[in-house]
A and B are shown apart, each in its own frame.
Chain A
Amino acid sequence: MELSRSMALFRRTKALENEIDEFLDKLSESALVFRQAIELYLTDGPGAGFDEKLRQVNALESRADQLRRDIETQLYAQTLIPESRGDVLGLLENLDSILNLLEGTLWGFSIETPDIPEEFVKDYSGLTEMAVLSVEAIVMASRAFFRDHETVGDHMYKVMFYEKEADKVSTKLKRAIFGQADLHLSQKMHLKSFTEHIDNVADKAEDVADRLSIYAIKRSI
């Protein structure tokens, strides 16, 4: 009886491992689509191409939500990893909030259609790149947490690095925006808010990284 229960436990474990992997895939994919969407917006402005990317991120976000809920329920219903399930729960919810930020930023572009002057396009593109790289690094760190917690640190410092780079670009960008004499203050404020939207993604990735390093230490002792 106990043996068959254990066999069932192994099957469920495998399924759950796959779900966690899929959740991380969705997050990583969302970041990549996010970059494409912003690039499209910066080159072509709002349009069908951008809307398509937004729709993709939406779909990814709802699938990820569904996965997260399912994983959490199973962890608690089957009392799996009793001593780290709180940490896993916290990690998944924080990763999910990164996804929400990505989606929210794209909705912002779609609804508010900010008018981005040509001279800022390069910096917006650079900022987006740093934010996306920080998300990819945190996804790698999270995968390491589940399989090989010793190497979590190797990915962690990348998250920190990209976040700092993103901060530098965003500060530079904001200075440039407010230094522009021929822009109306309202447009400056508008552009600043989008700079911050994108920068927030990298900030959030760093927050998750901080938590993750604590979780990893907890597991190593």
Chain B
Amino acid sequence: MDIAVLIFLTSGLFLGWSLGANDAANVFGTAVGTRMIRFTTAAAICGIFVILGAVISGAGAAHTLGRLGSVNALAGSFMAAFSAGLAVYVMTKFGLPVSTTQAIVGAIIGWSLFSETLTDTNAMTKILATWVVSPLLAAVIAILLFKLVTRVLRISKLHILRTDAYTRLGLVFAGAFGAYSLGANNIGNVMGVFISSSPFTDFSIAGLVNFSSVQQLFLLGGLAIAVGVMTYSKRVMLTVGGGLMPLSPVAAWVVVMAHSIVLFLFASQGLERILASYGLPTIPLVPVSSSQAVIGAVLGIGLLKGGRGLRTRVLGVIGAGWVLTPIIAGVVCLVGLFVMQNVFNQQVYRPVAYQISQPVIDRLAAAGMAPGAISGLEGKRFASAVRFKRALDAKEGLGPEDKARLITYAELDEMTVDAVRIGLVETGWLTIGQTRALRRLLGRTYPRKWMLAEALIGESAGWKPLADSKVNKAYNKELRGKLDFLYRTFRTAR
């Protein structure tokens, strides 16, 4: 085990800790703020279910990395995780609920700028869209749900003590469920990049329960999140649960439910797949943030009550926090990477070069691109994606699709299917056909990603993506995840 891996692991744990400190407020903030559940009880339930979610459901999706997966060197991941964690920590210190995902995306943008990798413009628009979409959707759902619940309560004429007891129970269940999904969804971000260098080994308890190294790693990450919840989440909880506006217990429950419904409806690929498979129209999957959904839900109830009692100053501070989070993460990451590279002499990114060689030209011609369009670029080597893109931009007559294709096919990324690393590919995850195809490629070297992918397709139809449609979306996504995993595993440059 490499000692450097352990040092790098600390930043993942730090990110996990700050995530716990901040995001636990989304599920238990209103319950604690209305004094329906004591903080210690909430922290205990939250901690337990976060760990369960991380270990049980998180490991299932372990192969598809979190967003930090796009960072291609361990020291770079360390810095990105650290700066995201720091940004979230600063916001938590001020008691502000912010989106951890946005902090991570901000940090990755910082890394992309530093390493001259192309910044995903999608990620930028995603951040901007979430600021508006999540709170808006949550507010609408909270208003509808609140009206429904109050009507039901009016008709059922429950004793206030009974209403109180049901609400409490509802808050516990909703909170436990929320904590479980929090662990399952975010563990990839916290620990994903360390999977390939996990210091743990698999073991099984009495031959019954298998405990893989990934699960052990995720348990560690889950513990970090749980510690964050227990040690530092109280302030954000109080902001969510009462700082913005005083809530009644029933309203507190409505807020948690509205937040969960928004996440389920607009972020659930499972639901999309089910709807699509029955030929029903699907709900467009828009980016949503749970922190922003919770604030939106509180706002919705505030507006329903005529806007009185809403503390606009707190609202302003929360909004400012949303804007600042990705910026802080990005800037800290940029500066940190510079220091890491130049002071500590660490490799913070693996340079990715681009070259339009003959096979690339042939492949592009097969894809239907005019051969003359790239004249003058053949054989030239570009040291980074940004430089390559600049050269492409200077060429006239290339559409955005052509450019995207060129960037995909010209990327140099050598990988060798060797016997040792093939053992790292778990058999259960790939299908039998896929595994066989991979084994047939043993010993071969591919200079580019697409070449390995096409070689695999040549060996087995199991590697061929299905036609682009809503029903097939999830299948293709998983296929891409598997290919990404192979690229990472067999990459020659480490």
Which A residues are closer than 8 A to B by beta carbons?
2, 6, 9-10, 13-14, 16-17, 20, 79-84, 88, 145-150, 219, 221
Quick one: which of B159, B169, B248 contacts A221, CB cutoff 8 A? Answer: B248
Cβ A147 vs Cβ B159 within 8 A: yes
Quick one: which of B157, B160, B172 contacts A81, CB cutoff 8 A? Answer: B160
A2 to chain B, nearest CB (A): 6
Contact residues in B for A2 (Cβ distance below 8 Å): 45, 172, 176
Quick one: which of B157, B162, B176 contacts A17, CB cutoff 8 A? Answer: B162
Cβ A221 vs Cβ B305 within 8 A: yes
Cβ B160 vs Cβ A84 within 8 A: yes
Q: Which 7 pairs from chain A and chain B are nearest by CB?
A: A82-B35, A148-B157, A13-B165, A81-B164, A13-B161, A17-B159, A6-B169
Bound: A124/B169 CA distance, A: 53
Of residues 23 to 82 in B, which have CB atoms within 8 Å of A's CB atoms? Answer: 34-36, 38, 45
Contact residues in A for B164 (Cβ distance below 8 Å): 13, 80-81
Bound: A146/B248 CA distance, A: 16
Closest to B162 in A: A13
B interface residue count range (under 10 / 10 to 19 / 20 to 34 / 35 or more):
20 to 34
B242 to chain A, nearest CB (A): 10
Contact residues in A for B259 (Cβ distance below 8 Å): none
B16 within 8 Å of A by Cβ? no
B466 within 8 Å of A by Cβ? no
Known: A2-B45, A150-B154. A83 touches B35 (CB 8 A): yes
**SS of B interface (majority):** helix
B132 within 8 Å of A by Cβ? no
Contact residues in A for B162 (Cβ distance below 8 Å): 13-14, 17
Quick one: which of B159, B249, B305 contacts A82, CB cutoff 8 A? Answer: B249
Give the number of residue pairs across the A-B interface with Cβ within 8 Å: 57
Bound: A79/B35 CA distance, A: 8
Cβ A219 vs Cβ B249 within 8 A: no
Closest to A11 in B: B165
Bound: A2/B38 CA distance, A: 13
Cβ B154 vs Cβ A81 within 8 A: no
Closest to B35 in A: A82
Contact residues in B for A20 (Cβ distance below 8 Å): 161
Contact residues in A for B159 (Cβ distance below 8 Å): 13, 17, 146-147
Cβ A146 vs Cβ B160 within 8 A: yes
B158 within 8 Å of A by Cβ? yes
Bound: A111/B53 CA distance, A: 73
Closest to B160 in A: A146
Of residues 318 to 366 in B, which have CB atoms within 8 Å of A's CB atoms? Answer: none
Query: What are 14 A-B pairs at a CB distance below 8 A?
Result: A2-B176, A6-B168, A6-B169, A6-B172, A16-B161, A17-B162, A81-B249, A82-B34, A83-B35, A83-B249, A88-B160, A148-B154, A148-B157, A219-B248
Contact residues in A for B157 (Cβ distance below 8 Å): 147-148
B338 to chain A, nearest CB (A): 49
Contact with A along B182-205 (1 / 0, CB 8 A): 000000000000000000000000
